Structure 1
Amino acid sequence: MKKVGIIMSLLMGVTMSFCLSLTGNLTSGEGFQLMPFLISFAVSTVISILIGIIVPMRKLEGGAVSALKLKEHSLPAKLVSALVSDLIYTPVITLAMIILARKMAMKMSNGHAQLPPFGVMFVKSLIISLIVAYVIILIVTPIYLKLSMKLAGVNPPAGKPPVD
Structure 2
Amino acid sequence: MNMKKIGLQMNILMAVTLSFCLSLLGNLTSGHFTWRGFFMSFGISTIISLIIGFVVPMKKVEDGLVRKCGLEERSLPARLLSTLVSDLIYTPILTFSMVFMAYKQATAHGSKMPFLPSFIKSLILSLIVAYIIIFIVTPLFLKFVMKQNGVSGPPAGGPPADRK
Whether TM exceeds 0.5 here: the answer is: yes
Aligned to 1:114: 112
Aligned to 1:7: 9
Is 1:100 matched with 2:98? no
Q: Secondary structure at the match of 2:21?
A: helix
Aligned to 2:135: 138
Is 1:20 matched with 2:22? yes
Larger radius of gyration: 2
Identity within the alignment, %: 55
Hey, what's the Cα distance between the residues in 2 that align with 1:74 and 1:43?
34
Hey, what's the Cα distance between the residues in 1 that align with 2:128 and 2:81?
14
Aligned to 1:56: 57
Equivalent residue letter for 2:83: A
More displaced 10-residue stretch of structure 1: 41-50 or 144-153: 144-153
Equivalent residue letter for 2:133: I
User: Once the 2 structures are TM-superposed, how far is the Cα of residue 106 of structure 1 from its aligned partner?
Assistant: 2.5
Segments of 5+ residues of structure 2 without an aligned counterpart are 159-164
Segments of 5+ residues of structure 1 without an aligned counterpart are none
Aligned to 2:75: 74
CA 1:160–1:143: 2 relative to 1, 3 Å: farther
Aligned to 2:161: none
CA offsets 1:5-64 (integer angstroms, 9 cap, x no match) = 11000000000000000010011122x311100000000000000000110000110111
User: Once the 2 structures are TM-superposed, how far is the Cα of residue 151 of structure 1 from its aligned partner?
Assistant: 2.1
Aligned to 1:159: 156
Hey, what's the Cα distance between the residues in 2 that align with 1:143 and 1:160?
21
Q: Which of the numbers 129, 132, 146 marks the counterpart of 1:149?
A: 146
Equivalent residue letter for 1:76: P
